[in-house]
Amino acid sequence: MKKLFIMLLATLVLAVTYPTKSEAKVMYDGAEVVKVQTGKMTFKKDIKVYKKNPDGTFDSLVVKRNNFLRTYDIEKYDGKTFYQMGQYRVQATDLVVFNEVPIDIRTSFYNNPVYVMINHQGVKIPYQYQDIAYGQPLIVGKRDEVCTGPKSSLVSMEKGKLNYHYCAGDIEGGPVIKTAIIDGTDVRIFEKINKGSYVLTEDTELLSAPMKGAPSHTKMVKGTIFQLSGIEIDGFVEVGLDKYYFNYIPANLLKPVNGK
């Protein structure tokens, strides 16, 4: 039983091997950081973590106090936060000590990063009419960029933080004003995929977010031609008709036009 516990714990703590921009190890807070890692966590006392099996049952594992685990994903909904550690996850409580890996370190693993809001509750931005919604990509640019159009916005990275900006007065060419700092745990980083024209292989719903059961805008018919923004999230791709994006369909329902 002791050997089994050690093997399971090692599975959680050891990193999965991912291709990176550099072979050099990336270190933070006294430990190596790996791609897709959002942070690391310890516990104030021995605690059980759980994983859900395909048949709906759950397995648990006791993690000892002060042993650290890498976290790879964070889910936020209904006012609750859950940390994913491989197949296991734990809900945030007073017993959980979470340390975030700065967003600039996480970014260093990607050649062409895309930042996407993964907080299911969305994030409210002061003085803005709309929240940053779940699944919405964030346009990252320099802080001194000017507005490109009405209600355009962007995010800059400064000292390991994501700073949200918006257009003053919604005037094209006007100044961009900093309004808020976005919590790095609300953002997941993806490698941008190839853009291009793709044809829909069967009828499907056009979804407002990259998840099953998301609100649907309309039904799209087989043969529709889409443009991809370059963003794929959990098997869903962000597609556009003409220049408009923020709509999603399953990636496996698209194929390149002319088979290219």
SS3 at position 155: strand
The DSSP call for residue 208 is: S
Give the residue from 72, 69, 4 showing the smallest Cα distance to 37.
72
pLDDT for the residue numbered 202: 93
Alpha helices in 81-156 (DSSP H): 103-107
Alpha-carbon distance 210 to 218, whole Å? Answer: 15
The confidence score (pLDDT) of residue 98 equals 92
Q: Is 174 helix (H, G, I), strand (E, B) or coil?
A: coil
Q: Do 89 and 98 touch, CB atoms closer than 8 A? A: no
Residue 157 identity: M
Give the pLDDT score at 159. 76
Please give the pLDDT value at position 23: 61
**Which residue from 129, 134, 130, 179 is spatially nearest to 154, judged by alpha carbons?**
179
Distance between first and last Cα of the chain? 53
| Neighbouring residues of 144: CB distance < 8 A, sequence distance ≥ 6 | 176
The pLDDT value recorded for residue 129 is: 56
N residues, the chain: 260
pLDDT at position 20: 44
Which pLDDT belongs to residue 11? 36
Task: Give tens-digit pLDDT for 89-129.
Answer: 888 989 899 999 999 999 999 888 888 888 888 787 766 55
CA–CA distances in Å: residue 64 to residues 8, 32, 44: 12, 20, 9
Query: Which parts of the chain sit beneath pLDDT 70?
Result: 1-23, 126-130, 141-154, 166-179, 194, 241-246, 259-260
The predicted pLDDT at position 168 comes to: 58
φ, ψ at 184 (rounded to 5°)? -60, -25
The one-letter code for the residue type at 121 is: Q
Give the model's pLDDT for residue 148. 57
pLDDT at 201: 93
**pLDDT value at residue 34:** 92
**Radius of gyration over every alpha carbon of the chain, rounded to an integer in angstroms:** 20
